[in-house]
């Protein structure tokens, strides 16, 4: 191995120690909150209880995976109730729709991923010189990533206050004494090592290492000999060897000799590591994490957008009033359907004026549960500041989302299904407020029709008294026809083939007779057809 030749003696003097009275990082800014007063949640955070019922656990798993190296789970699990914060995040998402801006920040997060990977690998390297080299490599990549980010954002037209403040803060950090010394020290140490040239001679089991003193480069002589036979571009048959995670025994011995031959160069490397062992600032680490939050979500919805599904910036309101979403869909289900090349059915959700509860009825497998899940998903995604599924959306902030979906019965659970429903519903009624979102799916379906009607009516009365926004999927038609703040929605079937569901949910009076009539006509069981057969 013959690295570049060193022509002059290296300057082994590093910059003087940092003035600790000088600011060591840029002004503290956040992409998640305009005044940085809302700290990014840190540490392990369990997803809310409603995640499983709404299939948001599937979304979270696809977003962050099991390892979650950047700790994004808390960011996706923590809804925000401040509409100012939500609009601040929405504007960042709007800027990232610009391909130029997206490319700049994606390049930065990719560079920081490599820095993080290198730093994480250092404890596993036995040789101190190898750890020093890895630290220098990581620092050089860190400097390069921030330089590209600063220059890239400087050439972009940014509209969001969040990214404009980040641009200014990164520019200030690059101009700081701290960053300038890191850059200069890393460049000086790197140049010194790049100028090292040496020779390795192997004689049997003996390996000799010496300074390069003008010996012929046999690799160039061999290449020159065969260059005369070259006819056009030839295929490269050379093998690429995977780098070992740690130095081998022979390589470590060679490195020992190099340290003796080039003490000044390696002293400079050691001094660099002593001065800059912790070079990643808290501000930059936070910026990397927050940018990953935005980019991860955009990557998740990208296949759906490419398939033509709409996403929009929802209008968020402090008032817990109505809900209006056009052309929406279940995010988790849509991702699966798009991957399979299957169509995605769009629905709309409207709750205006004094309307507070949507009661969804209709045939089984008609999309009712999916519709209810979509209602809950929309509110959570909007409370993160993310684009939501739909061509237009107006949503209010909430304090809690409560769900009641039937769970699998467990061995040893002495409560029956009805008792379990009553206990869980009571807990919801005790904890909900006017700002809560409630999603109920086939509650009290395990009891008789008369009991389900009675209990369901009492439950709706409690929900109406608290003025919560709710979706109630029920097989009891009478609940949908209470009128006033209660809106009846019915899942549709194909008129010519009632067994075929359209998965469309529309406003209509709940009337199981309509579905029964369609089935009767299909199978020739209407009164008229039966009389006709009997009269023959």
Question: For the chain, what's the residue count?
Answer: 536
- Tell me the C-alpha distance between 161 and 295, whole Å: 18
pLDDT per residue as tens digits for the range 60-69:
999 998 888 8
Q: Which residue do the tokens 């927050």 mark? A: 290
pLDDT of residue 134: 92
Backbone angles phi, psi at 257, to 5 degrees: -65, -40
Q: What is the dihedral of CA 448, 452, 453, 455, to 10 degrees?
A: 140
Half-sphere exposure (Cβ direction) of 452: Cα atoms closer than 13 Å: 19
- If DSSP codes are grouped into helix, strand and coil, which group holds residue 118? helix
Distance from CA of residue 418 to its chain's centroid? 38
Give DSSP secondary structure letters for 166-178: HHHHHHHHHTSHH
pLDDT per residue as tens digits for the range 110-168:
999 999 999 999 988 888 888 999 999 999 999 999 999 999 999 999 999 999 999 99
Predicted confidence band of residue 3 (pLDDT cuts 50, 70, 90) = very low
User: Do residues 152 and 104 touch, judged by C-beta distance below 8 A?
Assistant: yes
Predicted confidence band of residue 12 (pLDDT cuts 50, 70, 90) = very low
301 Cβ contact list (under 8 Å, min separation 6): 311, 331, 387
Q: Supply angle C-alpha 172, 176, 180, rounded to 5.
A: 125
| Arithmetic mean of pLDDT, 22-29 | 54
Q: Which residue do the tokens 């030839």 mark? A: 234
């Amino acid at each position: 191995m013959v690295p570049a030749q060193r022509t002059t003696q290296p300057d082994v003097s590093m910059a003087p120690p940092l003035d600790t009275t000088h600011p060591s990082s840029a002004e503290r800014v956040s992409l998640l909150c305009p005044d940085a007063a809302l700290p990014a949640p840190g540490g392990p955070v369990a997803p809310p209880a409603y995640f499983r019922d709404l299939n948001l656990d599937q979304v979270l798993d696809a977003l962050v995976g099991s390892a979650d190296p950047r700790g994004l789970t808390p960011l996706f699990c923590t809804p925000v109730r401040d509409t100012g914060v939500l609009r601040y995040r929405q504007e960042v998402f709007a800027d990232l729709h610009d391909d130029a801006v997206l490319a700049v920040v994606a390049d930065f997060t990719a560079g920081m991923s490599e820095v993080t990977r290198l730093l994480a690998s250092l404890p596993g390297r036995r040789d101190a010189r190898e750890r020093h080299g890895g630290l220098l490599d990581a620092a050089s990549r860190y400097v390069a990533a921030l330089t590209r980010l600063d220059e890239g954002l400087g050439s972009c037209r940014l509209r969001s206050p969040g990214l404009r403040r980040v641009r200014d803060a990164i520019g200030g950090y690059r101009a700081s004494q701290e960053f300038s010394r890191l850059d200069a020290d890393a460049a000086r140490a790197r140049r010194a090592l790049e100028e090292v040239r040496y020779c390795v001679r192997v004689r049997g089991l003996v390996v000799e290492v010496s300074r390069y003193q003008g010996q012929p480069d046999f690799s160039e002589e061999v290449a020159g000999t065969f260059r005369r036979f070259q006819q056009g571009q030839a295929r490269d048959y050379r093998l690429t060897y995977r780098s070992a995670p740690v130095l081998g025994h022979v390589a470590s011995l060679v490195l020992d000799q190099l340290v003796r031959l080039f003490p000044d160069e390696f002293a400079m490397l050691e001094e660099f590591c002593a001065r800059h062992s912790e070079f990643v600032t808290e501000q930059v680490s936070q910026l990397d994490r927050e940018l990953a939050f935005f980019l991860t979500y955009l990557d998740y919805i990208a296949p759906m957008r490419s398939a033509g599904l709409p996403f929009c910036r929802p209008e968020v309101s402090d008032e817990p009033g109505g809900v209006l979403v056009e052309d929406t869909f279940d995010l988790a289900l849509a991702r699966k359907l798009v991957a399979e090349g299957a169509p995605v059915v769009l629905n709309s959700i409207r709750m205006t004026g004094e309307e507070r509860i949507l009661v969804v009825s209709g045939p089984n497998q008609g999309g009712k549960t999916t519709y209810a899940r979509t209602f809950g998903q929309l509110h959570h995604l909007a409370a993160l500041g993310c684009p939501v599924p739909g061509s237009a959306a107006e949503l209010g902030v909430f304090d809690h989302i409560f769900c009641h979906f039937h769970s699998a019965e467990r061995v040893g659970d002495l409560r029956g299904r009805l008792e379990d429903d009553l206990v869980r519903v009571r807990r919801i009624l005790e904890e909900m407020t006017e700002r809560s979102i409630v999603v109920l799916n086939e509650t009290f379906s395990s009891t008789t029709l008369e009991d389900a009607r009675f209990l369901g009516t009492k439950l709706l009365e409690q929900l109406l008294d608290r003025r919560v926004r709710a979706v109630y999927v029920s097989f009891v038609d009478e609940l949908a026809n209470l009128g006033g703040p209660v809106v009846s929605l019915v899942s549709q079937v194909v008129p010519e083939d009632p067994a075929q569901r359209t998965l469309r949910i529309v406003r209509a009076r709940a009337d199981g007779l309509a579905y029964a009539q369609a089935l009767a006509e299909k199978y020739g069981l209407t009164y008229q057809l039966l009389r006709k057969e009997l009269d023959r």
